[in-house]
Each structure stands twice: as structure tokens, then as C-alpha cells.
Chain A
Amino acid sequence: METQFLLSFIVGIVVGGVAGFLGSLMLGRRMALAAGPLGHLTLPGIALALMYGFDVSLGAFPFVILGIVLIWLFEMRTKLPMEALTALVFASGVAIAFLLLPVKQAEAALVGDITKVRFGEAVISVCVALLLFFVVKNIYSKIVLINISEELAKSERVNIRKYNLIYLGSIAIIVALGVKMVGGLLTAALVAIPASSARNLSRNLAQYSFGAMIIGIISSSMGILVYKITGFPAGPLIILASTFIFLISMVFKR
């Protein structure tokens, strides 16, 4: 097997798995919606990265941070619905990508391109994703408790600000990693769909969280394999594989 394909495959399953795992927390807090605008906001960053030839995730990251500030302002301060932000950011993000980039590169920004990932990039992405996995695993039960009731969490002496900050930081990092794989348009699906499928199939938290991770891994491998066979872009294929699993999970819903 060629090295390039193997590199893409490894990055794909690691990032896909961790995205699914973290996504299982986001579903609980209705934060899955927030991953949408976050992904779209990265488009200008990706455009810059492609124009000047640096790592896409690196270009995306500052814009994700900006996005988190925006979401915080929207949700906590103005109480505007998340959909308003999604619409606003989505449109502007796509517009900027097409304005700044030639069509070929605009496509990479919108739907990602994991098939040309370089060795150094791959190593960094995998390390960051694995580190993220352990961070999320550590905060998991605290975030679940906060999601259930902040008051209950406070009465258990959980430092809500601290955990929320780590949680939002983790979301920022997974979005930055995700855009490399599936692009600014589809990142939300990378976190939301595996968790939704796992929710259909599980009866407890362990089945749910690790189920989401496994479904993330399977979707990524399926998508990248089908790319190898058909030559269609890998990003959309990963998401469609994920959707396919979701449809099956509806049949076996427990």
C-alpha cells in the first residue's frame, strides 16, 4: 500500500474517532449545532492557509477561537438563537472562500482534502488528536453532570468555569483538525452524526461515548476506502458513510 494513502487513512481514523467521542458530549448540550458556525467560520483561515501554503488546521484555529467568542456573545449575552449565527457565518464564510480562492482550492476549503496530507502534518494531527482524547475522557463525567444541571454540579463542588473552558477549547481543536479532513462545510457532521447513531444504539454512557468513537472510526475508514476505489473527494464520502450508518442505526433503535 502506498505511504500517502496510509498516512491519510491513519489521520482519518484517529481524528474521526476523537471527533465522534467529543461529539457525544456535544449532543447532550445541544452544542452540536454550534459546531456548524465554527466550521464555517474557519473558511477564511483555510483560504489563507491554502494561498500561503501552510497547515490548514493552523489557519483554521484562530478563526475557531473567534467563533467561540462569537457563540459566547450570541448565546450568553444576546440570547439570539444559534440558527441566526449559523446563517450569518455560513453565508459569509462560503462567500469569502469563493472570493479569495480559485475554484479548485475553494473546493478543498469547503469539503476538505485529507488525501494529500504530509508526513509532518499527519504526525502532529495524530498526536494532538490522541492528546485531546485523554483530555476529553478526563472531563467527560464532569461535563455530563454540568449538562444535566449546573446547580447539581455546583453542589458537588465542580468548578464549572474551568470545565467549560477545557470543553470549549477541545471543541476548537477538534474543529481545526476536522476541517483538514472534511472541510469547513462538513465539520459539524463529523462530530454530530456518529454521536446521533450511537445514541440510537446504546443504553448507557459507555456504550454511547465509545460507540460514537467507533462509529467515527468506521465512517472515516469507509469514506477513505471508497475514495481510493472511486476517486470521489474523501471528505463528502466520510460524511456520507456516517449518514449511512445513522440510517442503519434508526432501524435498530433501542
Chain B
Amino acid sequence: MESEFILKVTNLNVRLDHQSIIENLSLKVKKGEVLTILGPNGAGKSVLLKTLLGLFPYKGEIEWAKAIKIGYVPQRLPFIKDIPLSIKDFFNLKGSHEKETEAILNSVGFKEDFSRKKIGDLSSGQFQRVLIAWGLVGNPQVLLFDEPMTGVDISAEETIYNLLLVTHDLSVVYKFSTDVICLNRQPICYGPPQEVLTLESLQRLYGGEVRYYQHKH
């Protein structure tokens, strides 16, 4: 693989429970790029992220750059109420030491001492932010975000991360991404958002009922 690519996917096909979820998908992500995956519910966006992580079987090729560190932020987790787990404990599970934990929590806007809170006592918004912070442990070069909450600032210009974002929020696409892939089982469009997000491609993606808007930058 050419060195500038961090991810190259060729002819990806995913079938789960005898159902085709993703068909003939190819994409490339270069260093420093932000790729958003846009599509309606059930389009296979989350499945794509998880397949890239190696959680599902697939046909085709997925090539990550060598020795790349990946951080994954799931869409949601069952709330952890069965056992008393502090935020610090939760980060320990990933091998993060106290200093790293504090630093990362700080960077997503939590104050000191927050790490002693029990996960079960957090609001769902706080929990979402903790999950994002968890994805940052170990300094990953690539972050895979499944539907980051709007309002959480993950401004790509300020970070050194490669991002793969799953979203159905068009404003997220325009704000962050260098490339967008429209997915509804099959790839419908792929390229820089200003070029490929046309009325026609969005209608094909969402089935006609689209109020189209484009951000002028």
C-alpha cells in the first residue's frame, strides 16, 4: 500500500444473517483526511465501522497502514449499573494511567476529580463525552466515531487525528469532512462534500424526501 494512505478498502461486501448489508464498497483515506459516512437508518453505516474494526466477517479487502493505532467510539453502550465502576476504573480497563486519564478528561472539558465519579451517576450526555474521551486513550492515529453527539466539539482543524465519522447529520458533514461517502447498502456518492452532495444524490440516498441545503464557506 502506498504510504500516504492510512486505509484502503476494495470491493467490500458484508453479509450478516444471510442479508446483504454492504455491497461493493471501495474507499481510501489519506493521512490527515476526515471521511464521513452519511446515510439513512439501517444503511449499514455502523456495520461498516465495525467491519473496519474487524468485528464482522467480510469479503473484499481492508488494508490499514502498518502498526496503526485506532480509537473507537461506539454509538452507545448499555449503561453500566451492575457494578460500581468509576470513570478512572473505566479508563484503567484500557490501560490508561491516572495522569493520562486526567489529561484526556480535561481535553474534553471535564474538571479535575471528575474521574472519581461513578459511571452509573453520569447523565447520558456526560457518558457520551466520557466515551469519546475513552476513544482517545493511547493516542490513536485514527478515530472511528459512530454518531458523535452534536454539540461535542471534535473540530478537525485543531487535532492531528484522522477521523472516520458516521452520521446522518448533514451539518456535521460540511463542518468536518474532507470526503463523504453516501451509503445505503451500496455506495451512492463518494468525494468532497461540496462536489458530490447534489440534490440528486441525496434524493437517491434518502428516497426523495430531502430538504437540500449547502453550507457556503
Contacts and interface: CB of A to CB of B under 8 A. Distances in A.
B74 A152 contact: yes
Contacts of A152: 72, 74, 77
B77 A149 contact: yes
A30 B55 CA distance: 24
Contacts of A29: 82
B88 interface: yes
Nearest to A198: B84
Contact of B78 (A27, A145, A148, A203): A148
Given A27-B83, A204-B84, A208-B84, A151 B55 contact: yes
Q: Main SS of the interface on chain B? A: loop
Specify which of B54, B77, B93 lies most central, judged by the most chain A CB atoms within 10 Å of its CB. Answer: B93
Interface string B53-81: 11100000000000000101010011010
A208 B92 CA distance: 15
B80 A141 contact: no
Interface string A190-224: 00000000010011111110000000000000000
A86 interface: no
B165 to A, nearest CB: 16
Given A141-B93, A149-B74, A155 B55 contact: yes
A208 B83 contact: yes
Interface residues of A, number: 24
Contacts of B55: 151, 154-155
Nearest to A201: B84
A207 B84 CA distance: 9
Contacts of A155: 53-55, 70, 72
B84 A199 contact: yes
B28 interface: no
A102 interface: no
B15 interface: no
B147 to A, nearest CB: 15
Interface in A227-250: none
Contacts of B93: 141, 144-145, 148
A203 B84 CA distance: 5
A168 B86 CA distance: 26
Interface string A146-189: 01110110111000000000000000000000000000000000
Contact of B74 (A24, A28, A151, A205): A151
A136 to B, nearest CB: 15
Given A199-B84, A202-B84, A154 B54 contact: yes
Contact of A205 (B77, B84, B94): B84
Contact of B80 (A27, A148, A202): A148
A199 B74 CA distance: 27
Contact of A156 (B84, B86, B94, B116): B94
Contact of B89 (A24, A27, A30, A204): A204
A36 to B, nearest CB: 18
A203 B86 contact: yes
Contact of A144 (B72, B78, B85): B85
B118 A28 contact: no
Contacts of B85: 144, 204-205
A204 B116 contact: yes
Given A152-B77, A155-B72, A203 B118 contact: yes
Nearest to A145: B93
A152 B53 CA distance: 10
B82 A28 contact: yes
A222 to B, nearest CB: 24
Contacts of A148: 77-78, 80, 93
Given A203-B116, A204-B86, 12 more contacts: A27-B82, A27-B83, A141-B92, A144-B83, A145-B93, A147-B83, A148-B77, A148-B80, A155-B53, A155-B54, A156-B94, A208-B83
* 9 A-B pairs with the lowest CB-CB distances in the bound complex, closest first: A204-B86, A205-B89, A28-B83, A155-B72, A145-B93, A202-B84, A208-B84, A28-B82, A155-B53
10 contacts: A27-B82, A27-B83, A148-B78, A154-B55, A155-B54, A155-B70, A204-B85, A204-B88, A207-B84, A208-B84
